[in-house]
Amino acid sequence: MADRGEVREYEATGVKKDGTAIECLVTVSPWYSETGTVQGYQGLVRDVTEQRRAEHELRQSEERFRTLVHHAPEAIVLWSLDTGKFVDANANAERLFGLVREELLELGPFDVSAPVQPDGRRSHQVTEFVEAVIAGKTPVFEWLHRSADGSDVLCEVRLVQLPGNQTLVRGSMTDITERKRAEEALRESEARFRAVFESAAVGIIVTQSDGAILQCNSAWERMLGLDAGDVRGKGFLELTYPEDVVASSRAFGQLVAGESGSLQLEKRYVACDGSIVWGSTSVSAVHDSDGELKYTIWVVENITERKEAEAELESSRERLRNLATRLQAVREEERTSIAREIHDELGQALTGLKMDLSWIADRVSEGENVVRDRIRSGLSLIDATANSVRELSTSLRPAILDDLGLEAAIEWQTSEFSNKSAVQCELELRVGDINLGPERATAVFRILQETLTNVARHAGASRVKVSLSEADGGVILAVRDDGRGITDSEVASARSLGLIGMRERASVMGGRLEISGKPGDGTEVLLHMPLA
């Protein structure tokens, strides 16, 4: 109860008729008589249930706001325009400034500003942004603040005036020091790339994922005699020589599909004047985080002069091969002709001479022994000469090669080799009805002859195996010995004229000769000769 002359307020919980509880604010005041004595008391009861609920929700909202502010990812401060001091700061602001909240509340923005801001202006000009805030704007600017350890930290600041309070400004600050460093590093990297891109001696083209040219450097423009405006936006394949479009499309498709990160290929391009430009092209793909192709980088080295030189060299080699083929054919023809002349003319002459001596011998009287001895000596000399004529004729061109074929000639050659050398020769023939043609058959036979000659002269072998077999649309002649083994340097030596001749003889017929050896483990010669 209120004391005499005292008015009091109480909060109480009441119950409505329907049993609902309500919050009440009770005001009790005394009631006086005419004489000034307290006659009683009167009370005023107000239902404040909704007011108390609103106050409770406001406190919860403020608590949630404070929790949100203090746990926000950026640094947040409240700044009083009246005092020029901070009135609140969250945990990130404490970390950003290197000060605890109590220390920050003793300071203001100008106390922690660096002497000079990023734009070169003095920090006191931050007031310009405050004026913008008061005018209803939300300025964003870069601010360099001085941390407690003396280091300068660059922040991006956003100022907002608090609703309903014209003296409080909320500042949200994000440390952008590393971002600015990264941006500067990126600018430097882009500058370096641009310098390399433009000064490179090779052509560089950047294309989009659809193959459209995004940019190209000066070397590429000079290479094709084009301007950047002539090619930018065009499809890369539009500048490709028609016969190379399929290969280029296939390579580009592999990059798009992610089958390869980079490719190497040689292709032709069409210059502005219609001429052909050969390029050694390196293609690299750049994909995004999802693995999708963003763009491709084509690095093109102009190899037109090299290709022209290679074409001229190949043409020259082709002419030399044709000449060598013709010379081989002429030599074989001459050998055949000489062999026949020797065999026919000298053989017939020696046979006639032997018949004449035999006729004379039959008519020499019994007493002329000296004459008979001379005749017998002459007949022996004629027989020896006839054998030499046959051997010389056979060595020039064995008739068995023309009459009975390559297999019979190889059998004869290996037999002759075994008889004339101390090397045991093993022969294995695994060919059926195969027709190499006379020129290729002769080449195989001559290479066998040269190989066996080398075995006899240089290998120091006791055994050699010769095999002839069918394989891959042709024949393979293999000669393996158990000698000292040829060395790599001997195989590659420019002085090994016999080996060079064997390779060239195989090459002009479209064949391939392989020679290998191991020290102490013999030598192997493999001849791959295609069919005619």
| Statement: residue 505 has pLDDT above 50 | yes
**What architecture does CATH give domain 400-530?**
2-Layer Sandwich (3.30)
Give exposure, 481-511, as e/b (b: 16+ Cβ within 10 Å): bbbbbbeeeeeeeeebeebeebbbbbbbbeb
| Statement: residue 332 has pLDDT above 50 | yes
Q: Give mean pLDDT, residues 420-424.
A: 81
Of residues 150 and 68, more confidence is placed in 150
4 — pLDDT class (breaks 50, 70, 90):
low
Which residue is it, tokens 């001997």?
490
By DSSP bridging, strand 21-32 and strand 152-161 are unpaired
pLDDT (0 to 100) of residue 399: 62
pLDDT (0 to 100) of residue 224: 83
CATH T-level topology, domain 8-47: Complement Module; domain 1 (2.10.70)
Contacts 24+ apart (CB under 8 A), 158-163: 159/129, 159/130, 159/132, 159/133, 160/133, 161/133, 161/134, 161/136, 162/78
Q: Give mean pLDDT, residues 498-523.
A: 82
Q: Rounded CA gap, 108 and 174, in Å?
A: 18
Q: Which is nearest to 77 in space by CA: 176, 151, 169, 177?
A: 169
Q: What class has domain 210-302?
A: alpha beta
Q: Rounded CA gap, 483 and 235, in Å?
A: 63
Q: Which is nearest to 278 in space by CA: 246, 251, 316, 309?
A: 309
pLDDT (0 to 100) of residue 393: 62
Strands (E), 209-318: 213-216, 262-270, 276-287, 293-302
424 bridge partner residues: 463
Q: Rounded CA gap, 261 and 200, in Å?
A: 22
pLDDT (0 to 100) of residue 333: 62
123 — pLDDT class (breaks 50, 70, 90):
very low
Q: What is the DSSP letter of 529?
A: E
Which residue is it, tokens 């005023």?
44
Of residues 343 and 308, more confidence is placed in 308
**How many other CB atoms sit within 10 Å of the CB of residue 465?**
17
| Statement: residue 122 has pLDDT above 50 | no
Q: Rounded CA gap, 85 and 110, in Å?
A: 9
CA atoms within 13 A on the CB side of 528: 8
pLDDT tens digit string along 368-382? 777 777 777 777 887
In terms of Cβ atoms closer than 10 Å to its own Cβ (0-12, 13-18, 19+), residue 282 is middle
Of residues 36 and 190, more confidence is placed in 190
| Domain 66-181 and domain 210-302 have a common topology | yes
| Statement: residue 38 has pLDDT above 80 | no
Q: Give mean pLDDT, residues 104-126.
A: 68
| Statement: residue 398 has pLDDT above 70 | no
344 — pLDDT class (breaks 50, 70, 90):
low
pLDDT tens digit string along 425-446? 888 887 766 777 777 888 888 8
Secondary structure string (H, E, C) spanning 113-124: ECCECCCCCEHH
Q: Give mean pLDDT, residues 510-532.
A: 84
pLDDT (0 to 100) of residue 2: 44
pLDDT (0 to 100) of residue 124: 46
Which CATH number applies to 66-181: 3.40.50.620, 3.30.450.20, 3.40.50.2300, 3.30.1310.10? 3.30.450.20
pLDDT tens digit string along 220-251? 888 888 776 667 667 777 788 888 888 888 87
Q: Which amino acid is at 268?
A: R
Distances (CA, A) of 243 to 240, 247, 474, 488: 8, 8, 32, 41
Which residue is it, tokens 């600018």?
187
Of residues 106 and 134, more confidence is placed in 106
195 — pLDDT class (breaks 50, 70, 90):
confident
| Statement: residue 188 has pLDDT above 70 | yes
178: left (phi over 0), alpha (psi -120 to 50) or beta: alpha
Q: Rounded CA gap, 31 and 518, in Å?
A: 133
Q: Rounded CA gap, 206 and 522, in Å?
A: 56
Q: Is 241:247 a contact under the CB 8 Å cutoff?
A: no
Of residues 257 and 124, more confidence is placed in 257
| Statement: residue 290 has pLDDT above 80 | no
Distances (CA, A) of 304 to 276, 309, 450, 501: 8, 9, 41, 33
Q: Give mean pLDDT, residues 435-458.
A: 81
Which residue is it, tokens 């016999």?
498
1 — pLDDT class (breaks 50, 70, 90):
very low
Q: What's the mean pLDDT when you consider all of the chain?
A: 78
Q: Is 214:206 a contact under the CB 8 Å cutoff?
A: yes
Q: Which of 158-167, 341-350, 521-530 has the lowest mean pLDDT?
A: 341-350
pLDDT (0 to 100) of residue 311: 83
Q: Which of 310-314, 380-384, 389-393 has the lowest mean pLDDT?
A: 389-393
pLDDT (0 to 100) of residue 396: 61
Q: Rounded CA gap, 121 and 106, in Å?
A: 25
What residue segments make up the domains of the chain, in order of their start?
8-47, 66-181, 210-302, 310-393, 400-530
